[in-house]
Chain A
Amino acid sequence: GAVVSQHPSRVICKSGTSVKIECRSLDFQATTMFWYRQFPKQSLMLMATSNEGSKATYEQGVEKDKFLINHASLTLSTLTVTSAHPEDSSFYICSAYGLLHRGGNTEAFFGQGTRLTVV
C-alpha cells in the first residue's frame, strides 16, 4: 500500500483563490519532504525542499510567497498555492525521505500527486 498519502488527488479552483495540498508519510517519519511540479509530457521539476521545523528551501525561479510550504510535523508537509492563476495548473507531487523498515534503505517515497486546475 501507499506509504505517502497526498490529498487531494484532484482540485479545481477559481482564479485568485488559494489551494492547500497535504502530504503525509504514513508509516515512517520524514524529516525532509520535497515538492515537485510536472507539466504535461514533461519531467518532474523540484520546487522546494521542506524540512520539519524550519523554513523551506526553494529552487531558483519558484516564488516562495506564492507557494507556501509548511512542515509542521515529521509526518506532514503542506503546499499552499496562493492566489492561483491558470498558469499554476499542473500536476504537483510530493515525496518523503525516510526509512520505512529497519534494515531497509532510506529512500524517497512519492505521493499519488495532485492535479490542480485553475479556471
Chain B
Amino acid sequence: ELKVEQNPLFLSMQEGKNYTIYCNYSTTSDRLYWYRQDPGKSLESLFVLLSNGAVKQEGRLMASLDTKARLSTLHITAAVHDLSATYFCAVEQSQGNLIFGKGTKLSVKP
C-alpha cells in the first residue's frame, strides 16, 4: 500500500526566508505532483515531476524528485505573504489515481 508522508504539517515563516517541504513515499512511482490549496478552494497544480532528478521552478517555488530515495522537495525562496496556503504532494499510484500527503499549512508573516 502506497503511503505518502509530508512534513512539516505546519510551517510559519517570516517573509524573505527560505524553507523546504519534504514528501516521502513508500513504494515506487514515476510521477509526483505538487498542489496548492487556498481556503475554500480546490487544488491548483504547481508541478508535475515525471522522472528521477527532475527539477522544476516557478517563481519562488522549486520542486525536485529523487525516485531512488522516494523523496520530493518543495523549496521556497524568499517567502512572501502571497505564498500562504496549504501545499500538498501527491504520488500517482496508477494512472490518475493519486495518494495525497496530509498537506503543509504554510503561513508567511511580515
CB of A67 within 8 Å of the partner chain: no
**Which A residue's beta carbon lies closest to that of B99?**
A46
Taking chain B's interface residues, is the majority helix, strand, or loop, or is none over half, making it mixed?
strand
Write out the residue numbers on chain B whose beta carbons fall within 8 Å of the beta carbon of A6: 42
Number of interface residues of B (CB under 8 A): 22
Q: Is the CB of B95 within 8 A of A32?
A: yes
Write out the residue numbers on chain B whose beta carbons fall within 8 Å of the beta carbon of A106: 95
Q: Is the CB of B100 within 8 A of A44?
A: yes
Task: Give the residues from 20 to 45 in chain B that come closer than 8 angstroms, CB to CB, to chain A.
Answer: 31, 33, 35, 40-43, 45
Q: Known: A32-B95, A106-B95, A115-B40. Is A44-B88 also a contact (CB below 8 A)?
A: yes
CB distance from A30 to the nearest CB of B (A): 8
**Which B residue's beta carbon lies closest to that of A3?**
B45
Determine the distance from Cα of A42 to Cα of B100 in the docked complex, in whole angstroms.
10
Q: Is the CB of B96 within 8 A of A108?
A: yes
Write out the residue numbers on chain B whose beta carbons fall within 8 Å of the beta carbon of A105: 48, 50
Q: Is the CB of A108 within 8 A of B33?
A: yes
**Which A residue's beta carbon lies closest to that of B95?**
A97
Q: Is the CB of B42 within 8 A of A93?
A: yes
Q: Known: A109-B45, A113-B42. Is A95-B98 also a contact (CB below 8 A)?
A: yes
CB distance from B66 to the nearest CB of A (A): 19
CB of A112 within 8 Å of the partner chain: yes
Write out the residue numbers on chain B whose beta carbons fall within 8 Å of the beta carbon of A46: 97-99
CB of B70 within 8 Å of the partner chain: no
CB distance from B43 to the nearest CB of A (A): 5
Determine the distance from Cα of A44 to Cα of B88 in the docked complex, in whole angstroms.
9
Query: B-contacting residues of A (Cβ < 8 Å)?
Result: 6, 32, 34, 42-46, 49, 93, 95-97, 105-113, 115
9 nearest A-B pairs in the assembled complex, by CB-CB distance: A97-B96, A113-B42, A110-B43, A108-B96, A43-B100, A44-B100, A112-B42, A43-B102, A32-B96
Q: A32-B96, A110-B42, A110-B43 are in contact. List 10 more A-B contacts (CB 8 A).
A: A34-B98, A42-B103, A43-B88, A45-B100, A95-B96, A97-B95, A107-B33, A108-B33, A113-B42, A115-B40
Q: List 12 A-B contacts (CB under 8 A).
A: A34-B97, A42-B102, A43-B88, A43-B102, A93-B42, A93-B43, A106-B95, A107-B33, A107-B48, A108-B33, A108-B92, A108-B98
